[in-house]
Amino acid sequence: MCTEYSLGEMDRREFLKLGGAGLAGAVLLGTASVTGSRVLAREASSLMAEFEFAATEYGVPQELLLAMGYVNTMWEMPLPEVSAYREGDIHGRGTYGIMQLVQNPWEDTLGEAARLTGLPEEQLKNNRAANIRGGAAVLAGIPGSDKPSDLNGWQEAVAGYGGIDLYATEVYETLQSGASATTSTGESVELAPQDVEVPQVFTAQRRRRADYKRADWRPAYRGNYTNSGRGAKQIDLVVIHIAQGSYSGTISWFKDRRSNVTAHYVVGNRGKVAQCVHNEDIAWHAGNWAYNKRSIGIEHSGYASSPGAFQGKYRTSAKLSAYLSRRYNIPVDSNHFVLHRNVPGVTKRCPGPHFNYHKYLNLVKRYR
């Protein structure tokens, strides 16, 4: 039996306490406005309802929040420790939850979300509904009281939220095409296509500077890799990673002068490939200097815990690896195409249990 509450009768903090990883015991089904319209609580969790509640509370478009959540994590809620800040760690960016709230020594949108919502930082890290509320509050705070009247008007705010213009491009591509997924919690979520403009990216110029003709050149900060003049005799390994983050977020991390990490390539959804370090230079990705000197590092957007992390990326990545194999005479076998977790001294599970290594090598051989 449903119980009906007004916002005045049910404090938002109490609402959030009803669930652990989301709203385990409650779901918002009605529309909650600043004037206090009524909401319904039911016994099942609903990701869509959590987005609806946050969007209404902070006056941002629900579709926009959904698109951001899809770009960030494909609507998954990663464990906080997965991407907690760790100095010099390629995966330790300090980003949390579906909304990728940031906390590291130089950026603190997590703290800003706590201030805006009145919720503890630990709750924002661990509670799905709280995290979505935090992201909505931060996004709403960027334009302030002068909120855009339509989806297209939010482009600048979205770019500011993600810290890179490419983030807005990813979000608006998702809005334009729509998206759907079934999360690891079994919830089917769908975002209908929206009539929006996608911020333009000048791809042709970027591709002329990349070594790999299918890649966009998105250079990393020069202090995050070692200039070198490597050729075929020095390169005989490819190291496979999963980014524990989004495509644009990973590129942004490599561009940040304080991260001290890079990989040569980042593979994203929709056939996207970015090159951040030239092949001849040494990227800081493997956690082992001897391996760094010999290898090309390929990051894949997504989270190791997500079953769908590599969907739509195998062929894109395999074509890249086949190019590297041809150019540097790298044999296509397990001794030369190395999972990050198998690099000596590495204690991570990267690229995670859902990467089909056998399928990948077969594809590389086919495209070679």
238 burial via Cβ count (<10 Å: 0-12, 13-18, 19+): buried
Phi, psi at 260, each rounded to 5°: 60, 35
> Each residue of 107-134: pLDDT tens digit?
999 999 999 999 999 999 999 999 999 9
In this structure, the answer to whether residues 237 and 272 fall within a common structural domain is: yes
Is 101 domain-assigned? yes
In this structure, the answer to whether residues 320 and 173 fall within a common structural domain is: no
In this structure, the answer to whether residues 154 and 287 fall within a common structural domain is: no
Is 138 domain-assigned? yes
> Each residue of 256-280: pLDDT tens digit?
999 999 999 999 999 999 999 999 9
Q: Say if residue 20's pLDDT is above 60.
A: no
The residues, any chain, with a CB within 8 Å of residue 9's CB and separated by 6 or more, are none
In this structure, the answer to whether residues 217 and 360 fall within a common structural domain is: yes
Q: Say if residue 237's pLDDT is above 80.
A: yes
Average pLDDT rounded to a whole number, residues 127-148: 97
**Helix (H) or strand (E) segment spanning residue 168:** helix 165-177
Average pLDDT rounded to a whole number, residues 30-52: 53
pLDDT of the residue at 200: 81
Is 124 domain-assigned? yes
pLDDT of the residue at 206: 67
Average pLDDT rounded to a whole number, residues 141-160: 96
In this structure, the answer to whether residues 358 and 209 fall within a common structural domain is: yes
Is 3 domain-assigned? no
> Each residue of 57-107: pLDDT tens digit?
999 999 999 999 999 999 999 999 999 999 999 999 999 999 999 999 999
pLDDT confidence bin for 220, thresholds 50/70/90: very high
- For all residues of the chain together, what is the average pLDDT? 88
For the ranges 25-39, 273-287, 329-343, which has the lowest average pLDDT? 25-39
Structural domains in the chain (count): 2
Is 208 domain-assigned? yes
In this structure, the answer to whether residues 295 and 250 fall within a common structural domain is: yes
Identify which has the larger pLDDT, 7 or 75.
Answer: 75
pLDDT of the residue at 202: 60
Beta-bridge mates of residue 242: none
Q: Say if residue 15's pLDDT is above 50.
A: no
**Distance (Å, whole) CA 67 – CA 155:** 12
In this structure, the answer to whether residues 151 and 243 fall within a common structural domain is: no
Residue 283 belongs to domain with CATH number: 3.40.80.10
Is 26 domain-assigned? no
Is 93 domain-assigned? yes
In this structure, the answer to whether residues 150 and 226 fall within a common structural domain is: no
Is 255 domain-assigned? yes
214 burial via Cβ count (<10 Å: 0-12, 13-18, 19+): middle
- What pTM does this model have? 0.87
- Last residue of a domain, which of 129, 147, 181? 181
In this structure, the answer to whether residues 176 and 207 fall within a common structural domain is: no
Q: Do 239 and 297 contact (CB within 8 A), yes or no?
A: yes
pLDDT of the residue at 208: 74
In this structure, the answer to whether residues 222 and 315 fall within a common structural domain is: yes
Average pLDDT rounded to a whole number, residues 166-180: 97
In this structure, the answer to whether residues 279 and 339 fall within a common structural domain is: yes
- Last residue of a domain, which of 146, 181, 216? 181
In this structure, the answer to whether residues 172 and 238 fall within a common structural domain is: no
Q: Say if residue 250's pLDDT is above 70.
A: yes
- Last residue of a domain, which of 132, 150, 181? 181
Half-sphere exposure of 164 (CA within 13 A, CB side): 18
Structural domain boundaries enclosing 243 = 203-367
pLDDT of the residue at 29: 30
